[in-house]
Amino acid sequence: MTPELLIGAITLFVLSIFLGVELITKVPSMLHTPLMSGANAISGISVVGALLGANVAYDGGQTVISGILAFVALVLAMINVVGGFAVTNRMLNMIAGKKRGD
């Protein structure tokens, strides 16, 4: 990693935090839980890291444990992602979907 890359990553990090702060303003209380649950599903983005980590060959006996760790991470992240979006969807169908007949 070069200093330029690191500075780029830090820039991304800081600006995204500011964006995240601005994104959420006034949220009605009935949406607190779905918003939390939806955001939670997005935090399962570490699935990307797990995918990259699990992509290892299992022939030479090398990198076995790191591969297993990444595999477990992949399973957990997928549970978080799929379960999180599905449960959010269920909640929203009940509260937001039926309102005002649309």
Helices (H), 55-83: 64-78
Assigned token pair, 50: 């797990």
The least distance separating another protein from the CB of residue 10, rounded to whole angstroms, comes to 8
The least distance separating another protein from the CB of residue 65, rounded to whole angstroms, comes to 5
Q: What angle separates helix 32-42 from helix 84-95, to the nearest 10 degrees?
A: 160
The least distance separating another protein from the CB of residue 37, rounded to whole angstroms, comes to 5
- Count of residues that bind another protein according to CB under 8 A: 88
Binding mask 78-97 for another protein (x = CB under 8 A): xxxxxxxxxxxxxxxxxxxx
- Give the 3-state secondary structure of residue 99: helix
Binding mask 44-63 for another protein (x = CB under 8 A): xxxxxxxxxxxxxxx---xx
The least distance separating another protein from the CB of residue 28, rounded to whole angstroms, comes to 6
Q: Which residue has the tokens 């006996």?
A: 61
Torsional class of 13: left (φ above 0), alpha (ψ -120 to 50), beta (otherwise): alpha
Binding mask 3-42 for another protein (x = CB under 8 A): x-xx--x--xx--xxxxxx-xxxxxxxxxxxxxxxxxxxx
Q: Which residue has the tokens 């169908």?
A: 93
